[in-house]
Amino acid sequence: MFVYLLRHGQTVYNADGERFCGSSDVGLTALGWQQARQSATLLKEAKVTKVIHSGLRRAEETATALVESLDGVTKADFHVEPAFREVGFGAWEGLTRAEAARAFPDVYSNWLLDPAHTSLPGGDDLFVRQALVLAAFQSYVSNHPDGDIVIVAHNTINRLLLVGLFGGDAGEYRKLVQRNACMNVIEYTDLGDFRIHGVNLLPV
């Protein structure tokens, strides 16, 4: 079984100075829709039987664009999993990095050095969110006997999940990059172990 883990396509916040989005429910730009459709080309060999998204608009729209290009998969195959929602950035949501640095200079400086141990005003705990997303991911893998799974999630939550699969904690998530509409390919064998075939993949 393969799991295809994607980040959503470009949003209006990404296009407008890479604003912190978090739990804010913003949609895709026209480019974001195009990116999602292009990413579907990476699934041409997949046998997708379940599509999971976070429930946030940008993830649902990306999933919708994907299934438009896949044979035999429809929105009826969608499942919403809140554990895959993006990490909440609290008072920083809607701000650019420069605006966050001006409004919260001390917190911002600490966040640059140690994001996992820095509490953002109203933001999520990265260790808690990592534990939740890992548990949800393992549950889907364990209880999905047939076909491949597509998961459409978000920048920080994908990185927390991927580093967690290798035993890393939330403080290590910045070792990975997740571009808009990128795909990560994870294979689970009959023995229950996994192999990573690709991270941060984009169509050629």
Distance CA 173, CA 22 (A): 16
Please state the rounded mean pLDDT for residues 1-7: 97
Distance CA 124, CA 52 (A): 22
25 pLDDT band, cuts 50/70/90, is very high
pLDDT above 90 as % of the chain: 86
**To which H or E segment does residue 60 belong?**
helix 57-67
Q: Which residue has the higher pLDDT, 36 or 189?
A: 36
* Residue 48 structure tokens: 């997708």
**Tokens 């990116």 -> residue:** 35
What are the tens digits of pLDDT across the range 131-182?
999 999 999 999 887 889 999 999 999 999 999 999 999 999 999 999 999 9
Angstrom distances, CA of residue 88 to CA of 34, 97, 109, 157: 26, 15, 18, 10
Q: Which residue has the higher pLDDT, 81 or 49?
A: 81
User: Hey, what's the torsion of the CAs at 113, 115, 121, 125, to 10 degrees?
Assistant: -160
Distance CA 200, CA 202 (A): 7
* Residue 104 structure tokens: 């919260």
User: Hey, what's the torsion of the CAs at 83, 86, 89, 92, to 10 degrees?
Assistant: -160
Distance CA 10, CA 78 (A): 21
pLDDT of 112 reads 96
DSSP string, 152-191: EE-HHHHHHHHHHHTT--GGGGGGS---TT-EEEEEE-TT
45 pLDDT band, cuts 50/70/90, is confident
Going across the sheet that includes 48-53, the strands are 78-80, 48-53, 148-153, 2-7, 183-188, 194-201
pLDDT of 72 reads 80
Distance CA 41, CA 29 (A): 20
Mean pLDDT estimate for the chain = 95
99 Cβ contact partners less than 8 Å away, ≥ 6 residues apart: none
For the chain, domains (ranges, CATH) are 2-12+28-86+125-201 (3.40.50.1240)
